[in-house]
Amino acid sequence: MTKIQTKLEDIKKVAKINEGKNLKYYILTMGCQLNENDSEKLCGMIEQMNYSKTENLGDADLIVFNTCCVRENAEDKLFGKLGEVKKYKEEKGTIIAIGGCMMQEKHIVEKLKESYPFFDIVFGTHTLHKFPEDLYKIITSKKRIEDILDIDGEVIEGLPIKRDDNIKASVTIMNGCNNFCSYCIVPYVRGRERSRMPKEILEEVRSLAKSGYKEITLLGQNVNSYLRVERENNIEIEKYEGVNSFATLLRAINKIDGIERIRFISPHPKDFTDDVIEAIRDCDKVCKLVHLPLQSGSTNILKVMNRKYTKEQYLALVDKMKAKIPNVTFSTDIIVGFPGETEEDFEDTLDVVKKVGFEQVYMFIYSRRVGTPGDKMENQIPEEIKHKRFDRLKQLVESQIEIRNKEYIGTIQNVLIEGKSKNNDNMLTGRTDSNKVVVLNGSDELIGKLIPIKIIADHMWYLEGTISK
Ligand code: SAH
Ligand code: SF4
Ligand code: F3S
């Protein structure tokens, strides 16, 4: 039996035990889009094992938490939730499974065993495909399972998947990260960088297109180094449609009929080669919004962060893209209060924000992560200063977004209509190429269509539009 066949057999074994029992599962995903994509795979397997989804914790026979550990608040959230589910375990024996990035941290699993010993399964980021096997063991033997691998586990292709949306889909193109930015826990919990083979990715996108999906987001911690590790280490790359890099992957996906938009997160500024810039320019389906994580605008801090670019190199890259890609826009991630950040360093960050004019800035207060070099640095910034700087950055960003939003008024934007507006059932909602939310009046037949919309009003977090005649 091949590996995937074994996995499918495990699913069938559990499905048989559960048959006719009308069981339900609840899942909470706490992390980034990669984690959400993992959850979609978990849901795919769980639903084939005869559980149906519930949004109500109390109704569930199986509760799954898919955790994140990139910042401290993620931990508080998990422990809070565990406190909440204890009573269900006691009352009706609900199976409690905890997975994802945080489970790769030894001190967290120790804490769970000490303070929340009622869980049934913990599984890490390398053992997702073993979830059906773990569940089978719990159902048949009731012995608590820790299924965590320190080494990079295999990524098994062909597992079932249950996607959250029917217009937009995420496709993971690589796993892990080799960059070791000094603040970041991800390389320790997600393992080394490994790319999926071109054939697997292109076949997945083609089957999504066949099922009617319009927008694809390619996911990875460093997408523009796709297949680089493989190339550098002479690992055989299965030949498929000439794809051997991120740029050639974009070009190949751009040719797939039915797909109308391609996005990708996150690229790393240090790996933004000209072939990628040219592919973004040439491929009509690739959105011209580039998410380009800055982290800090200070060359000194960037060096300590191990980001491998300077303030000037970042700005030069932005200028190059502005010159080469018509209508390019940018979004970014910024960390405030990294150890040793001076007032001057922080002002460099503000300066880059002013110069680039981002569409969207995801702002984070530096959070110490056990095991990272940043955590051991002595010059930590006091909380109060971090918060004050965060507020100043937020103010600048919001004032810029306000100005940018006004510039949209009167323009025609291609908007992919995603569904009914959350706040008003009579309105539709969609997104521009630059990922701005647009709310408009229109009939349900427009859902899933990419149409020109005239922007007529602006608000902080969305624009109002009308169908352009
Ligand atoms: N690989 C991606 C995303 C990594 S995690 C990238 O390199 O851009 C998403 C964001 O979380 C990061 O871009 C960073 O801004 C933020 N982040 C990571 N570690 C953090 C920490 N210890 N404290 C605060 N923010 C952090
Ligand atoms: Fe973390 Fe840096 Fe890797 Fe992004 S590139 S996941 S920030 S180590
Ligand atoms: Fe994502 Fe959080 Fe893991 S950001 S990779 S879920 S640590």
Give me the CATH number covering residue 233.
3.30.750.210
pTM (two decimals): 0.95
Residue with tokens 């001057």: 344
Length of the chain: 469
Q: Residue of the nearest CA to atom 5 in ligand 3? A: 186
- Residue 155: inside a domain, yes or no? no
- Residue 459: inside a domain, yes or no? yes
Same domain for 244 and 303, yes or no, is no
- Rounded to whole angstroms, how far apart are CA atoms 156 and 7? 9
Q: Residue of the nearest CA to atom 4 in ligand 2? A: 221
Of 239, 258, 286, the residue at which a domain comes to its end is 286
Tokens of 271: 């790996």
Give the orientation angle of helix 246-254 with respect to helix 198-210, to 10 degrees.
30
Q: Residue of the nearest CA to atom 2 in ligand 2? A: 181
Ligand nearest to the CA of 189: 3
For the chain, how many structural domains are there in total? 4
List the strands of the sheet with 215-219, edge to edge: 168-172, 215-219, 261-265
Q: How far from each other are the two terminal CA atoms of the chain, in whole angstroms? A: 58
Give the orientation angle of helix 311-324 with respect to helix 343-356, to 10 degrees.
0
Of 147, 181, 206, the residue at which a domain comes to its end is 147
Ligand nearest to the CA of 71: 1
30 touches ligand 3 (CB under 6 Å): no
35 touches ligand 3 (CB under 6 Å): yes
CATH of the domain at 76: 3.40.50.12160
Same domain for 119 and 253, yes or no, is no
Same domain for 247 and 123, yes or no, is no
- Residue 293: inside a domain, yes or no? yes
What Cα–Cα distance (Å) separates residue 322 from each residue in 267, 277, 288, 315, 355? 17, 10, 10, 10, 12
- Residue 197: inside a domain, yes or no? yes
CATH of the domain at 435: 2.40.50.140
Same domain for 277 and 323, yes or no, is no
33 touches ligand 3 (CB under 6 Å): no
Same domain for 11 and 130, yes or no, is yes
CB within 8 Å of 315: residues ≥ 6 apart: 352, 355, 356
Which of ligand 1's atoms lies nearest the C-alpha of 183?
22
Helix (H) or strand (E) holding 143: none
Same domain for 275 and 398, yes or no, is no
- Rounded to whole angstroms, how far apart are CA atoms 126 and 147? 9
Instruction: Compute, in angstroms, the gap from residue 393 CA to the centroid of ligand 1.
Output: 17
Q: Residue of the nearest CA to atom 10 in ligand 1? A: 333
Map residue 202 onto helix, strand or coil: helix
Q: Which domain holds residue 455?
A: 412-467
Same domain for 208 and 220, yes or no, is yes
- Rounded to whole angstroms, how far apart are CA atoms 397 and 391? 10
- Rounded to whole angstroms, how far apart are CA atoms 173 and 14? 29
Same domain for 257 and 324, yes or no, is no
- Residue 157: inside a domain, yes or no? no
- Rounded to whole angstroms, how far apart are CA atoms 442 and 446? 7
Please tell me what DSSP assigns to residue 452: E
Same domain for 99 and 178, yes or no, is no
> Is the Cα dihedral 410, 414, 419, 423 positive or negative?
negative
- Residue 346: inside a domain, yes or no? yes
Q: Give the residue from 192, 229, 219, 187 showing the smallest Cα distance to 374.
A: 187
Same domain for 140 and 202, yes or no, is no
Best residue for ligand 1 mutational test, from 33, 68, 69, 70 (most atoms within 8 Å of Cβ)? 70
Same domain for 8 and 139, yes or no, is yes
CATH of the domain at 368: 3.30.750.200
**Which residues' Cβ are closer than 6 Å to ligand 1?**
70-71, 183-184, 186, 221-222, 266, 268, 293, 295, 333, 335, 364, 366-367, 369
- Residue 158: inside a domain, yes or no? no
- Residue 292: inside a domain, yes or no? yes
What Cα–Cα distance (Å) separates residue 161 from each residue in 41, 46, 219? 4, 9, 16
Same domain for 422 and 394, yes or no, is no
Instruction: Compute, in angstroms, the gap from residue 184 CA to the centroid of ligand 1.
Output: 6
- Rounded to whole angstroms, how far apart are CA atoms 108 and 116? 11
pLDDT tens across the length of the chain (469 residues)? 788 888 899 999 999 999 999 999 999 999 999 999 999 999 999 999 999 999 999 999 999 999 999 999 888 899 999 999 999 999 999 999 999 999 999 999 999 999 999 999 999 999 999 999 999 999 998 788 888 888 777 788 888 999 989 999 999 999 999 999 999 999 999 999 999 999 999 999 999 999 999 999 999 999 999 999 999 999 988 889 999 999 999 999 999 999 999 999 999 999 999 999 999 999 999 999 999 999 999 999 999 999 999 999 999 999 999 999 999 999 999 999 999 999 999 999 999 999 999 999 999 999 999 999 999 999 999 999 999 999 999 999 999 999 999 999 999 999 999 999 988 888 999 999 999 999 999 999 999 999 999 999 999 999 999 998 7
Of 358, 385, 407, the residue at which a domain comes to its end is 407
Nearest-5° Cα angle at 221, 292 to 45: 135
Which of ligand 3's atoms lies nearest the C-alpha of 30?
6
